[in-house]
Structure 1
Amino acid sequence: MTTLLLHCGHARAAVHADDGALLAVLAAQCRPWITAQPATRVPPGTWTVRIGDADAGARVPSRTGASVRLRPDHRLLHLPAPAPCDDTEAAVRPVVRLLRALLRRQLAASGAMFLEAAVLALDGGGLALVGGARAGKTTTLVAALRHLHGTLIANDEISLHLARSEQRTGAEPGVHGQLIARGYPRAIEVRRDALTYLGAAADRLAAAADPGSPPQALSLTPHRLAAALEAPLADAVALSALVLLARGTGRPRLQRLTGPDAAAVADHLTVADSYESWLQPHLPAQDPDPRGADRLLQAVPVWRLTQPLTDLQTSADLLAELAHHPEASR
């Protein structure tokens, strides 16, 4: 049996499997957000996922798409070995989902906050595009990556970590700052009704999308989306600004927010994991701290980008300028 030890910031988990090739695919799908290394020993107390044919523990109502069994006394989770198939990405998807839940819940326990936001890095500074469903996060992210040659950090459900500007344990080289945004391996859905606003990028995304995408959206792994847009990937970035997205007419415009308007970012704080609720007694994930917005506002400026999706080039230009001058007033 082969073992991988996985880390995401200060959180860790392990995976055991007989199929080394499956673990190699898993490690590739987790990078760069979760690092995976072969291990001969797992530290005591580490949550462990075992992939194999032997059942262990009680079955839980997992939303990973696989049958999951739990032995809480050993912090052990069991998944059956996937049936042989050509789609290795699909075979490891339930494991990635389970690891994401385990790691995010551990990070929440150490003080991380979680936010509905897409994140990209431009010239080393990070911008978080904040909004709920259908706010335009993915569409704006794709346009900015395409026009500005930015780095993809995350499409949604980021974690935020307050850190000193000096060296951080587990940080990527060069990532410093007060508020660190971290992404996770998570499928990206690009709504088909938004493709008309994306120009040539729409054809690239359609060619890279999962053939089994739902009727209303193109489904892509972040690796495939980044490759289609010729954008690099990174696990984390120090944020320069939070950008609340709003729909509007006329030319896109940025407005610096303060007071209650800026505090609206708190509406988009979310829980670490809303999918694997059966983990709650064993690895609790608390509701968002109402004081979280104050911590965010003290760390980075908040802006509102009001835009029609018909002028994403101008929106991208505004974001590029904001990345260089996040404190400037307009």
Structure 2
Amino acid sequence: MAEQLHRLSAPYMAVEPGSSGPGAWEVIAGTVPPDHAERESVTAQGEVAVEYAVDHSARKLFHLAPEGDAWVTQSLLRATRAIHRSEASRQGVLFLHAGLIELNGLGVALIGGSRAGKTSFITAGVLNGSGVMVCNDDVSLTVDPDGETVVGAGWPRSISVRLDTLDLLFGRDRAQAIRSSLSHPANETLLSLRDAGIEKHGTALIYPWEYADLLNTKIGQSVKVDAVVHLSLADDPAEAELAPVPLSARAGLLEKGVLALPNKHLNIFGHEPAPGSRRRTRAALTALPTFRFRYAFRDVRRQVDRLAEYLDARIRPA
């Protein structure tokens, strides 16, 4: 189990067998929790519910259901990630609804909501040979003591990819083979969202190690952020836009991407930072070159090159 968890968490975290230190949270499977443990359920859209029990006094989190190695491993990974993200939040780390890519050597934070085209753009960048993915969503950011250098880091989580993105970038037959090879247990139920009309395009979940193998690439753990790009999809190619954001508008746009909670689920470990601890990171991000970029989904591979050339001309030192 430890070997599988290590594989799923790489390159962001190292998981090793052994005892935990004093006062540390423990994540446990295959053990009956004490009667006083509080039940906690995680229900993600399109997935089966995952059941936990929490013993706050002993700092233990028990996985209860569903059974099976794939779901137990996924559940332990999710809980371990949540514990560490909550700790990072207490230390003042800023979390953004954003992807992060190293594009021709420049670190680019791609801020955008769900279905803004972040994962499609990053994957096209990797396929084009110009990009190294750090993460496709929920990036964490800190600022160095100099108050200017912002560093973004990824976390071990599955990569949610639209099915039409796979079709577009790999072709339908190859995309079908890719979907059949994926090991995330939620892929067995996610198609129900499309079939029920809840989700238009359908989604597949890819673990980072699968993504690296599929694209024959490495995944970066962290990168210095050189530019901030507010990303969205254009419904019509005529609506495509690539333009700088004035300094006066940057703080407001940035705030729309800030995550109020460090985790989508399991915010039960305490996560409130010291007042003002994220102010320096916000200020440093606002000072970075910032752009709006709306692109047409079907033209994503050409648009990767367009953005790379645009940023290179405006940011890279002469």
Cα pair distance change 1:145/1:114, threshold 3 Å: same
Q: Does 1:138 align with 2:124?
A: no
Q: How does 1:296-315 map to 2 (within 5 A)?
A: 296-298=285-287, 300-315=288-303
Q: Does 1:227 align with 2:209?
A: no
In the TM superposition, residue 81 of structure 1 has moved relative to its aligned partner by: 8.6
Q: How does 1:41-52 map to 2 (within 5 A)?
A: 41-52=19-30
Cα pair distance change 1:204/1:114, threshold 3 Å: farther
Deviates more, 1:46-55 or 1:198-207: 198-207
Conserved 8 A contact 1:252-1:311 = no
Give 1:192's match in structure 2, choosing from 154, 158, 163: 163
1:274 alignment partner in structure 2: 264
Q: Secondary structure at the match of 2:227?
A: strand
Larger relative contact order (Cα-Cα within 8 Å, sequence gap ≥ 6): 2
Cα pair distance change 1:301/1:93, threshold 3 Å: same
In percent, how many aligned pairs have the same letter? 25
Conserved 8 A contact 2:240-2:295 = yes
Q: Secondary structure at the match of 1:254?
A: strand
In the TM superposition, residue 231 of structure 1 has moved relative to its aligned partner by: 2.1
Cα RMSD between the aligned structures? 3.1
In the TM superposition, residue 59 of structure 1 has moved relative to its aligned partner by: 3.0
Question: Which whole-Å CA distance do the structure 1 matches of 2:228 and 2:146 have between them?
Answer: 18
In the TM superposition, residue 29 of structure 1 has moved relative to its aligned partner by: 0.5
Structure 1 gaps, min length 5? 1-21, 167-176
Question: Which whole-Å CA distance do the structure 1 matches of 2:305 and 2:16 have between them?
Answer: 40
1:35 alignment partner in structure 2: 14
Query: CA offsets, 1:135-163, max 9 Å, x none?
Result: 11111111111113522211111111112
Give 2:271's match in structure 1, choosing from 284, 296, 299: 284
Given residue 327 of structure 1, which amino acid in structure 2 is its aligned partner? I
In the TM superposition, residue 313 of structure 1 has moved relative to its aligned partner by: 2.5
Q: Does 1:180 align with 2:164?
A: no
In the TM superposition, residue 33 of structure 1 has moved relative to its aligned partner by: 0.9
What TM-score, normalized by structure 2, do the two folds share? 0.79
Q: Does 1:320 align with 2:308?
A: yes
2:245 alignment partner in structure 1: 257
Question: Which whole-Å CA distance do the structure 2 matches of 1:202 and 1:141 have between them?
Answer: 20
Give 1:70's match in structure 2, choosing from 50, 54, 57: 54
Q: Secondary structure at the match of 1:36?
A: coil
Question: Which whole-Å CA distance do the structure 2 matches of 1:221 and 1:203 have between them?
Answer: 21
Given residue 46 of structure 1, which amino acid in structure 2 is its aligned partner? A
In the TM superposition, residue 116 of structure 1 has moved relative to its aligned partner by: 0.8
Question: Which whole-Å CA distance do the structure 1 matches of 2:111 and 2:15 have between them?
Answer: 30
What TM-score, normalized by structure 1, do the two folds share? 0.76
Question: Which whole-Å CA distance do the structure 2 matches of 1:285 and 1:201 have between them?
Answer: 45
Q: How does 1:97-112 map to 2 (within 5 A)?
A: 97-112=78-93
Aligned pairs, number? 289
Q: Secondary structure at the match of 1:54?
A: coil
Q: Secondary structure at the match of 2:116?
A: coil
Query: CA offsets, 1:17-76, max 9 Å, x none?
Result: xxxxx121011111111112333x432221111223232341322317433222212212
Given residue 294 of structure 1, which amino acid in structure 2 is its aligned partner? A
Question: Which whole-Å CA distance do the structure 2 matches of 1:245 and 1:158 have between them?
Answer: 15
Give 1:154's match in structure 2, choosing from 135, 148, 173: 135
In the TM superposition, residue 253 of structure 1 has moved relative to its aligned partner by: 4.9
Structure 2 gaps, min length 5? 44-48, 195-201
Comparing both structures, which one devotes a greater share of its residues to helix? 2
In the TM superposition, residue 217 of structure 1 has moved relative to its aligned partner by: 1.7
Conserved 8 A contact 2:240-2:293 = yes
Conserved 8 A contact 2:121-2:301 = no
Question: Which whole-Å CA distance do the structure 2 matches of 1:63 and 1:288 have between them?
Answer: 29
Given residue 212 of structure 2, which amino acid in structure 1 is its aligned partner? A
Conserved 8 A contact 1:127-1:323 = no
Q: How does 1:206-225 map to 2 (within 5 A)?
A: 206-209=176-179, 210=182, 212=188, 213-214=190-191, 215=194, 216-225=202-211
Question: Which whole-Å CA distance do the structure 1 matches of 2:95 and 2:292 have between them?
Answer: 19
Cα pair distance change 1:81/1:132, threshold 3 Å: closer
In the TM superposition, residue 287 of structure 1 has moved relative to its aligned partner by: 12
Question: Which whole-Å CA distance do the structure 2 matches of 1:253 and 1:309 have between them?
Answer: 13
Q: Does 1:25 align with 2:12?
A: no
Q: Secondary structure at the match of 1:320?
A: helix
